[in-house]
């Protein structure tokens, strides 16, 4: 058989294995789990896909006589594991190993509200090598897993997923501040753990309204709602013309 025929066969084998990896990944991704399990499950799912691709690559090499002996030896022995362990000290596979450690120990979980490097955000995804944090301005902070596993990170929801919504408004010092605060307290009286207080008296009075929410997404939704409600209440009370 011509050499290029063997290359085509090897390519077809690898493409078939790649499709198999995608199908397995798709089937596994259809499971809906609790956040604690989702973090482990997502890393496991991608690890399985990576293993299938590695085994498929070496299997494709078996059809090429020039490298068949080497590929067969690697598949039939622990050499593949030795290669992985040998490269684990390198940056890329170091991130991979760190991702597995994060999935097992769970210092952070998908959906946790964290502060890392001075940036506050929500853990959006934990990949094989990188973790994605959605910041408050809807940007993405991409952190190598190796750094995330070794650096100090503040996790505000490690014990509980409950969060809070917070809105701060400026009230003129000439306005009846006490009446404005009382009106806002009435507005949020039905919200969970709601508080209204004057947080600053610098040029204008800064009034802060806080209320509890079930999780970060609920807090963001409540925050948008509070802005509208606070604006309506202050206009109705004559604080804002």
- Residues 58-92 have pLDDT tens digits of 666 666 666 566 655 655 555 555 555 555 455 66
**pTM (two decimals):** 0.45
> In terms of residue numbers, what domain contains 16?
3-87
Supply the pLDDT for residue 237: 84
Count of domains in the chain?
3
Question: Does residue 8 sit within a domain?
Answer: yes
Residues 80 and 147 in one domain: no
* 116-170: pLDDT as tens digits: 988 888 898 888 788 999 988 889 999 999 888 888 899 887 777 678 899 999 9
CB atoms within 10 A of CB 144: 18
Average pLDDT score over the chain: 79
CA distance 241 to 236: 9
Kindly report the CATH number assigned to the domain that includes residue 204.
3.30.70.100
Of 89, 91, 72, 68, whose CA–CA distance to 80 is shortest? Answer: 72
Last residue of a domain, one of 97, 127, 155: 155
* 7-43: pLDDT as tens digits: 676 677 777 767 777 776 677 666 666 665 666 677 7
Supply the pLDDT for residue 50: 74
Phi, psi of 154 (to 5 degrees): -90, 120
Supply the pLDDT for residue 205: 92
Of 188, 206, 211, whose CA–CA distance to 197 is shortest? Answer: 206
Residues 180 and 209 in one domain: yes
191 has pLDDT over 90? yes
Question: Does residue 122 sit within a domain?
Answer: yes
β-sheet bridge partners, residue 207: 169, 198
Question: Does residue 67 sit within a domain?
Answer: yes
């Amino acid at each position: 058989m011509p050499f290029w025929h063997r290359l085509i066969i090897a390519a077809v084998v690898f493409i078939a294995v790649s499709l198999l990896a995608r199908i397995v990944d798709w089937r596994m991704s259809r499971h809906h789990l609790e956040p604690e399990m989702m973090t482990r499950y997502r890393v496991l799912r991608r690890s399985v896909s990576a293993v299938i691709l590695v085994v498929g690559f070496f299997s494709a090499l078996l059809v090429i006589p020039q490298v068949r002996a080497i590929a067969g030896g690697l598949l039939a022995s622990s050499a593949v594991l030795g290669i992985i362990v040998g490269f684990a000290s390198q940056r890329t596979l170091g991130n991979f190993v760190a991702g597995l450690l994060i999935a097992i120990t769970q210092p952070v979980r998908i959906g946790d509200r964290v502060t890392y490097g001075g940036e506050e955000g929500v853990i959006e995804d934990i990949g094989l090598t990188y973790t994605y944090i959605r910041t408050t301005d809807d940007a993405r902070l991409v952190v190598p897993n190796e750094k995330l596993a070794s650096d100090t990170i503040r996790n505000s929801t490690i014990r509980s997923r409950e969060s809070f919504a917070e809105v701060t408004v400026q009230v003129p010092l000439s306005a009846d501040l006490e009446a404005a605060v009382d009106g806002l307290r009435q507005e949020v009286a039905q919200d969970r753990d709601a508080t209204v207080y004057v947080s600053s008296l610098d040029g204008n009075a800064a009034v802060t309204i806080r209320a509890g929410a079930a999780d970060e997404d609920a807090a963001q939704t409540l925050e948008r709602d509070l802005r509208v409600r606070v604006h309506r209440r202050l206009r109705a009370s004559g604080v804002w013309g």
